[in-house]
């Protein structure tokens, strides 16, 4: 006999379905095409944000997710660099980070460096996406070795990358 019938209580047949990754800055629906970001001038065209030389005068305007994150000071990725090696080789490390940031932004308008904050014991880099921090961590480890650790937040669009080298 069915337990729901024996207790007289109906079973719920609906359930809460969780998104695989929840990103509050991702558009919920399709934007009108073309849409231009008034901040960075990226264009939403053919279902994605991209760089373009020109766009129609009558374009819809809306902040792209990257500019929205920058405006809200709400990063999708944080890279923390620590250890005595960072302080000794800060110029080389930051040159590599800025180069990767420029390279990634050229191909993907939503993948940007937000801020690089230098502290006495560390350097903290914030980004608008989760791919750039992963790429930065991988490049630092390939170039300078050290200890690399990735932390993805479950069901959120966020990554924390920690890279450390003492000597």
**Short-list 132, 110, 113, CA closest to 44:** 110
pLDDT at 56 over 80: no
Report the sign of the C-alpha dihedral through residues 96, 139, 153, 111, in that order: positive
The answer to whether 150 touches 106, Cβ cutoff 8 Å, is no
- pLDDT score recorded for residue 1: 46
Rounded to a whole number of angstroms, the CA Rg of the chain reads 21
Q: How do 35-36 and 43-45 pair as beta strands?
A: antiparallel
Task: Spell 68-94 as b/e; 16+ CB within 10 A means b.
Answer: bbbeeeebbbbbbbbbebbeeeeeebb
DSSP character for 109? Answer: T
- pLDDT score recorded for residue 31: 83
**Domain ranges, ordered by start, for the chain:** 71-164
Q: Which fold has domain 71-164?
A: Alpha-Beta Plaits (3.30.70)
Can you give the pTM of this predicted structure?
A: 0.81
Residues 49, 37: Cα–Cα separation, whole Å: 9
Per residue in 92-125, pLDDT (tens digit) is: 999 999 999 999 999 999 999 999 999 999 999 9
- pLDDT score recorded for residue 133: 96
The pLDDT mean for the chain works out to 86
For residues 59-87, give the mean pLDDT: 94
The answer to whether 20 touches 50, Cβ cutoff 8 Å, is no
Specify the residue for token string 């209580």.
9
- pLDDT score recorded for residue 59: 83
For residues 142-165, give the mean pLDDT: 92
Tell me what percent of the residues of the chain surpass a pLDDT of 90.
66
Per residue in 7-51, pLDDT (tens digit) is: 555 555 555 444 455 566 776 678 888 899 999 999 998 888 999
């Amino acid at each position: 006999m069915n337990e729901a019938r024996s207790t007289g209580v109906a079973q719920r047949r609906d359930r809460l379905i969780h998104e695989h990754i929840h990103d509050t800055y991702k558009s919920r629906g399709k934007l009108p095409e073309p849409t231009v970001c008034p901040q960075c001038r990226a264009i939403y065209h053919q279902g994605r944000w991209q760089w373009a030389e020109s766009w129609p005068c009558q374009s819809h305007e809306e902040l792209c997710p990257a500019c929205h994150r920058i405006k809200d000071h709400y990063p999708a990725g944080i890279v923390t660099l620590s250890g005595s090696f960072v302080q000794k080789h800060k110029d080389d490390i930051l040159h590599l980070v800025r180069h990767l940031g420029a390279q990634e932004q050229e191909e993907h308008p939503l993948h940007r460096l937000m801020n690089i904050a230098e502290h006495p014991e560390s350097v903290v880099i914030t980004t608008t996406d989760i791919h750039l921090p992963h790429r930065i961590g991988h490049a630092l480890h390939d170039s300078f070795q050290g200890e690399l650790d990735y932390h993805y937040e479950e069901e959120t669009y966020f990554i924390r990358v920690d890279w450390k080298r003492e000597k």
